[in-house]
Chain A
Amino acid sequence: MAETLVPWIVALPGLGALINGLFGRWTGRRAHWVALAATGLSLLFALIVLNRTVLGGETIQVRLFEWVVAAGFRAEIAFLVDPLSSIMLFVVTGVGFLIHVYSAGYMRDDPGFSRFFTYLNLFMFAMLLLILGNNYLLMFVGWEGVGLCSYLLIGFWYHKKSASDAGKKAFIVNRIGDAGFLLGVFLIFQVFGTLDYAGVFEQARAAGPGSAAASAATLITLCLFVGAVGKSAQLPLFTWLPDAMEGPTPVSALIHAATMVTAGVYMVARSSALYLLAPVSMEVVAVVGGLTAIFAASIALVQNDIKRVLAYSTVSQLGYMFLALGVGAFTAGIFHLMTHAFFKGLLFLGSGSVIHALHGDPDEGRRQDMRFMGGLRKHLPVTSLTFYIGALAISGIPPLAGFFSKDEILAEAFTSGNYFVWVLGILAAFMTAFYMFRLIYMTFFGKSRVVPEATHHLHESPAAMTTPLIILAALAIVGGWVGIPGYNAFHAYLGPVFGTAAGGGEAHASTALLWVLAVVSVAIGVGGWMLARFMYTKNLEVPKRLSEKFQGTYQLLLNKYWVDEIYDACIVRPIMWLMKALYTVDAKGVDGTVNGTSWLTVWLSKLSGIFDLQTVDGAVNGVGVILTNWARGLRRVQTGGVQNYALAMLLGVFVMVSLYLMYG
């Protein structure tokens, strides 16, 4: 039963995309029914399968058919539902379905309605392929598929130049990572001779330190991590994610917060057996993750665009997940991935609801600008309440989901002895709480700064949009309870995948230390919250004074460390310069040669044309003229008078007879 359903979980959204893609003109405004049916059934099947895997503790493996068979290389279309992909399956289908519902409301008046759902379903298809495939090749196919959908959806409003530019940027930056991933996959095949997870990890686990596999593992894992850095927007390839906010908000929620960007985390977690062989790579992952966490969080502190704050927050939280993976806390990383999907999806959908409410504003950029919000609590009761829950969850306030996952990561970082990344994590946690509540207070509290045109349009969003908010808010509250320290069901379930004993690293640390760490992380979260409350509700002049006093720092953060400008100067411009130089070579040199040749050819053809016209045609026409003139004279002979012919005949006979008589 479950075995037959697994392929359908993947295929149904693909089918939905096919229907809406081919018959979009016909489905039109009803496109969401197709898309919802596809993802809804997919979710239902996923729940049936999850019932077997999560509650029944089974691992389901479905082999459909062999896909590529070539000398020594075998890849098959096969799906694997083990604990790790079960968690991902739950997150992707669950959050995906909710966001589909939300989109039906959010995109209702958009002219590209069916196109939107085509892309969204296609994305679900690719993402499910990515997480359910049982080998690296299938993962790569899904990996590229989600990248394509991300590009299509960021540039969904392609008539807006900024949107199409952002789409291209996302695609190109992702290519850099993809190249690394691909190299990693090649290396895996070269070293292990297979791309199947089972085969690779078995060999990797069997390989001791110092073996050939272990020495190759560092290079492999670093290559794979380059892919993860691109896809999951880590330093230094994170610049595409904030720009990706040009896409419709449900897209930001689904692809650029909850699912696609976590593909890198999933991939690293999936390859844990390889990473455990390569301590250097682990160190790199942890440090990159930690640095990204505070780097992005510090940018989020001063941004004014509501979606950009959330985007940098996402980058920062992804950094957290990598931090967890890097210190060996794979379970905690995946745990945070799941809770993050809930509360960040919720926050993005909430921001979408806010933007939706401000649709009266004629200036599109201003609709997302928090300086023109404030006091929306009264107009958007459901949105503001759920947003508040999301903010509490991400800030790590117990007993919401974010607390458990974040606390576990920080505790693991501390107990595993990585004090440096622990400090990075704590700093990021403080900033996270601060910028989230800064966002809350600027948006929902205080006096309204909404422009008059938009004020009377303010309204709570339709039920299609608020229902997913409420469900996600509920998940953001209870989602962490599966991982309560001491009764860590999540850990017990997922642990075996990573080859660690149930209970994990925490078991080695004393309970007292864990309590201290938990209190510290909660205190940090509450501290950030209170500071934001102090600065953005009571003493509104403080932020201004601070920004004036620390002008340099403020500008640095507001302009995102000028990373985009640095990339522009160091990479984009030299490439453009090279391109122009090559263009000049092309235009002057190559084109000159080509044009010269063609000029020569034209002249030669003109010459032979003259020869043709004068000489050859002259000869042909001359023959014609001569014959015509002759014929003109000769045809007089043909008088038409029968008697003339008879006379000629008689004369002929006479002549012949005479000749006969004379010489015969």
Chain B
Amino acid sequence: MVPGEYYLALAGLVFVIGGIGVLTRRNVIMILMSIELMLNAVNLTFIAFAKMHGNMMGQMFVIFVITVAAVEAAVGLALIISLNRRKATLNVDEINILKW
């Protein structure tokens, strides 16, 4: 039986990897994938706590998050395609029209 703290540690690790990916990657698709990683790290945390506290609410939340993540992936990819059509690039450094 694997103790619950291990799950949490793994989840933290995955979350940090995802966060670093979001901050350092230049490719938009890679950033999107990193966000996915962070989401799943959170899912892992939910499940770990559900198991530790014997409460099924966590598992139910995960189902929700997975559903929403699927939708988010679809919207995100659509945005990326749309962005690609406008700018012909996927490099975030070149997509900086939000500035002054």
Residue positions of A touching B, CB distance < 8 A: 635, 638-643, 646-647, 650
Contact = CB atoms under 8 A, between A and B. Distances in A.
A640 B97 contact: yes
Interface in B12-43: 19, 22-24, 31
A638 B23 contact: no
Contact of A639 (B22, B23, B99): B99
Contacts of A640: 96-100
A650 B21 CA distance: 13
Contact of B100 (A638, A646, A647, A650): A638
A638 B19 contact: no
A194 to B, nearest CB: 92
Contacts of A641: 92-93, 96, 99
Nearest to A642: B92
Contacts of B99: 638-641
B45 to A, nearest CB: 15
Interface of B: 19, 22-24, 31, 92-93, 95-100
Nearest to B99: A640
A49 to B, nearest CB: 97
A639 B99 CA distance: 5
Label chain B's interface by main secondary structure: loop
B23 A646 contact: yes
B96 A647 contact: no
B19 A650 contact: yes
Contacts, number: 28
5 contacts: A642-B95, A642-B98, A643-B24, A643-B31, A647-B23
Contacts of B96: 639-641
B15 to A, nearest CB: 11
B51 to A, nearest CB: 24
A640 B100 CA distance: 8
Nearest to B24: A643
A334 to B, nearest CB: 103
Contacts of A642: 92, 95, 98
Nearest to B98: A640
A638 B22 contact: no
B98 A643 contact: no
Given A638-B100, A642-B98, A647-B23, 15 more contacts: A638-B99, A640-B98, A640-B99, A641-B92, A641-B93, A641-B96, A641-B99, A642-B95, A643-B23, A643-B24, A643-B92, A646-B22, A646-B23, A650-B19, A650-B23
B70 to A, nearest CB: 22
Given A641-B93, A642-B92, A642-B95, A635 B19 contact: no
A69 to B, nearest CB: 81
Nearest to B96: A640
A155 to B, nearest CB: 79
A639 B23 CA distance: 15
A645 B4 CA distance: 34
Of B19, B22, B93, B100, most buried by chain A (CB within 10 Å of CB) is B100
A635 B98 CA distance: 12
A641 B97 CA distance: 8
Contacts of B31: 643
B3 to A, nearest CB: 23
A635 B100 CA distance: 6
Contacts of B98: 638, 640, 642
Nearest to A639: B99
A325 B24 CA distance: 127
A638 to B, nearest CB: 5
A224 to B, nearest CB: 94
Nearest to A634: B100
Contacts of B93: 641
Smallest CB-CB A-B distances: 9 pairs: A640-B99, A640-B96, A635-B100, A640-B98, A638-B99, A638-B100, A641-B96, A647-B23, A639-B99
A635 B99 CA distance: 8
B86 to A, nearest CB: 15
A640 B94 CA distance: 9
B19 to A, nearest CB: 7
A81 B88 CA distance: 106
Nearest to B97: A640
A647 B22 CA distance: 9
A641 B22 CA distance: 12
A636 to B, nearest CB: 8
B27 to A, nearest CB: 11
B22 A643 contact: yes
A179 B3 CA distance: 127
A71 B93 CA distance: 96
A640 B87 CA distance: 15
B73 to A, nearest CB: 18
B31 to A, nearest CB: 8
Contacts of A635: 100
Nearest to B35: A646
Contacts of B97: 640
A458 B64 CA distance: 123
Contacts of A646: 22-23
A646 B34 CA distance: 13
A220 to B, nearest CB: 96
Contacts of B95: 642
Contacts of B24: 643
A519 to B, nearest CB: 124
Contacts of A647: 23
A241 B30 CA distance: 114
B88 to A, nearest CB: 18
Contacts of A639: 96, 99
A642 B92 CA distance: 7
Of A638, A642, A647, most buried by chain B (CB within 10 Å of CB) is A642
Contacts of A643: 22-24, 31, 92
Contacts of B22: 643, 646
Nearest to B93: A641
A301 B32 CA distance: 126
A524 B99 CA distance: 121
A639 B96 CA distance: 7
A655 to B, nearest CB: 15
A641 B95 CA distance: 7
Contacts of A650: 19, 23
Nearest to A647: B23
A646 B97 CA distance: 16
A427 B95 CA distance: 122
A600 to B, nearest CB: 52
Nearest to A635: B100
A227 B95 CA distance: 101
Nearest to B95: A642
A650 B35 CA distance: 13
A656 to B, nearest CB: 16
B34 to A, nearest CB: 10
A456 to B, nearest CB: 99
Nearest to A641: B96
Contacts of B23: 643, 646-647, 650
Nearest to B100: A635
